[in-house]
Structure 1
Amino acid sequence: MKRGLLILFYCSIVILLNCSIASAASLTSHISYLKSQYDITVAQDGTGNYKTVQEAINAVPDFRKVTTTIFIKNGVYKEKLNLSASKQFVKMIGESAEKTILTFDDWAQRKNAFGEEKGTSGSASFYIYGSQFSAENITFQNTAGPVGQAVALFVAGDKAKFINCRMLGFQDTLYTYGYASRQYYYKCYIEGTVDFIFGSSTAVFDECEIFCKSAGYITASSSPDTSKYGYVFLNSKILGDVPANSYYLGRPWRPYAKAVFINCDLGKIIKAEGWDNWGKESNEKTAFYAEYNSTGSGANPKARVAWSHQLNEITVREYTLDKIFNGWNPKEMAADAQIKK
């Protein structure tokens, strides 16, 4: 009887040891798999390759022809960041959109080392010049507050994609810089006050939430006359914690400004007239502002300014991603990101 119990005891020990070895091997394999997903990991606690985001950017080889994936662990990274034009195909993935925060606090009137004002362009927290950049699950922020122009994100590179990201600021939050830049924002949250989405790029905001923080203007497009599309908002929501009739959908920073809202839910904050000419009647002849199938209490097509447009079932067909981006369709990448979550 005792011998039988002893044999059973030893068998149990052997089984437990085998299970522990298997579990350890499985865990090691899982960790290796996770590491293999990313080329570079950033972590403030030292558990990654680098502690700062700029160090990780600097480590990307210049003019690399394949994607370099940078994983950024949760944390508030207060850095003034610059991704140069030589850093191509960089993909940044945050651990979570709410807790992976890239931030700085410059503003236009702040003085540089020579006592000169930095200006709007100089106020950005993050500059993106490299082409084929993409970001997922990251907050881009400028914490300067309501002190005038203070850019959170300055995007100049072509074929830039942002998925499930947040852009936080006040005036001039998101600067879509350069008419040759095509940009795609999918399921992003963008907030601000005056002209907080501005610039000359062709940009699509797909299923995004646009949050207005005080009276002002959502867009300030500066599209050149050679650009057909400018800003296109698809299936997005326009919200705010301000009184009704407080916001214009846009005003033209340059004469040929363009912005179109398609199938968007417009909150009560939107002014009945919808659009502003920036004090120049001549802009009414050159700017192109339009809507299609707007819903919500801010949808009021009959009250819109006479120089704006309402698209119909035929003209709205011109607004596909393929046409807007001249053959580049970033939707596949966005769909892949949703599947992986």
Structure 2
Amino acid sequence: MKRLFGMVCLMLFAVTVWGQGQDTIIVSRDGTGKYRTVQEAIESARAFMDYTVTIYVKNGTYKEKIVVPAWLENIEIIGEDKDKTIITYDDHANINKMGTFRTYSVKVEGNNITFRNLTIENNAAQLGQAVALHTEGDRLKFINCRFLGNQDTIYTGAKFARLYFKDCYIEGTTDFIFGSSTALFEDCTIHSKRNSYITAASTPREAEYGYVFKHCKLTAAQGINKVYLGRPWRPYAYTLFIECEMGKHIVPAGWHNWKNPDNEKTARYAEYKNTGEGADVSQRVGWSKQLTKKEAEAVTVENLFCTHDNMWKF
């Protein structure tokens, strides 16, 4: 019965999130598309659509502060080339006391939204927190995208929301993947630009999973040699690295308690069969965990995204 439930969940996830597009809107900076900005194209879509609209964005630099509102669903935003289709802005937390959560370049509030083949960047000077991607919606997918920034590059803001990152490049300095959502990062490159921390999860106690990195590659800029896998932004933070390649910049201890020993009692930090110079677990902190084969095999798409009372709500 459990296996059947998992198969049904996966089928529904695929149908809902990977639906086929029916309408296509072209965006181009040179005026050859229907719209010249991505935000104009987003605002042209109907509320609560039951079919998929594709927004195709031609190569160019789009300096916009974009919001995909909560009343939009089933939107695919697809770039022409991930390296040449760039959405960028430059807000940071210390501009007019803006604070972290208003600094986003792209904020996604709607559900069932897909981004593919483009770059989302916050190119603010390193003067404070500066979010490139801020997510609030559920069932969001990011495929073959680049996320460029420094501190706080990706903020996953909604508790129990489900996010999927596939074949993405994510860079930053401090806590550059942070928040409370459940997110699977698969076959991604995670690049550290400073001696600091990669993740700062704030996973709710009730959530079975938080951040899962699977088959990812952890790299660093030249001279960077002291990077922690994560520190708990809130108690019960969950972060797992499974079969990832870790560079020598990862510190032997692996994890940090954010200078609060009480976090060691609740943080859910784990690893399984990672490789590379940074994957040696002989000196890992005692409050982190090495999964067994059986435990690792249980970390599936079905279990990450479908283990809850309601089919889509954790």
Residue 148 of structure 1 aligns to a residue whose secondary structure is: coil
- The answer for the alignment partner of 2:263 in structure 1 is 283
Alignment partner of 1:48 out of 24, 29, 33 = 33
Say whether 1:64 aligns with 2:44: no
- The answer for the alignment partner of 1:142 in structure 2 is 122
> What are the residue-to-residue correspondences of 1:1-341 with 2, within 5 Å?
39-111=24-96, 117-243=97-223, 245-326=225-306
Deviation at 1:243, TM superposition (A): 3.3
Q: Deviations over 1:182-228 (max 9, x none)?
A: 00000000000000000000000000000000111000000010011
Distance in 1 between the 2:57 and 2:135 partners?
Answer: 19
Q: If each structure's strand is expressed as a fraction of its own residues, which one has the higher value?
A: 2
User: Aligned partner of 2:69: which letter?
Assistant: S
Structure having the higher Rg: 1
List runs of 5+ in structure 2 lacking aligned partners. 1-20, 309-314
Contact persistence 1:38–1:71 (CA under 8 A): no
Name the % identity: 49
Residue 190 of structure 2 aligns to a residue whose secondary structure is: strand
Deviation at 1:146, TM superposition (A): 1.4
Q: TM-score under structure 2 normalisation? A: 0.90
Q: TM-score under structure 1 normalisation? A: 0.83
- Runs (4+) of structure 1 moved beyond 6 Å? none
RMSD: 1.3
Contact persistence 1:74–1:94 (CA under 8 A): yes
Q: If each structure's helix is expressed as a fraction of its own residues, which one has the higher value?
A: 1
User: Aligned partner of 2:68: which letter?
Assistant: L
Distance in 1 between the 2:35 and 2:119 partners?
Answer: 19
List runs of 5+ in structure 1 lacking aligned partners. 1-35, 112-116, 329-341
Contact persistence 1:214–1:242 (CA under 8 A): no
Contact persistence 2:193–2:224 (CA under 8 A): no
User: Aligned partner of 2:294: which letter?
Assistant: I
Residue 224 of structure 1 aligns to a residue whose secondary structure is: coil
Deviation at 1:180, TM superposition (A): 2.5
Q: Deviations over 1:50-79 (max 9, x none)?
A: 001110010000111111100000000000
Which structure ranks higher in relative contact order (CA pairs < 8 Å, sequence separation ≥ 6)?
Answer: 2
Distance in 1 between the 2:235 and 2:190 partners?
Answer: 24
The change in CA–CA distance for 1:38 and 1:100 in structure 2 (over 3 A counts) is farther
- The answer for the alignment partner of 1:23 in structure 2 is none
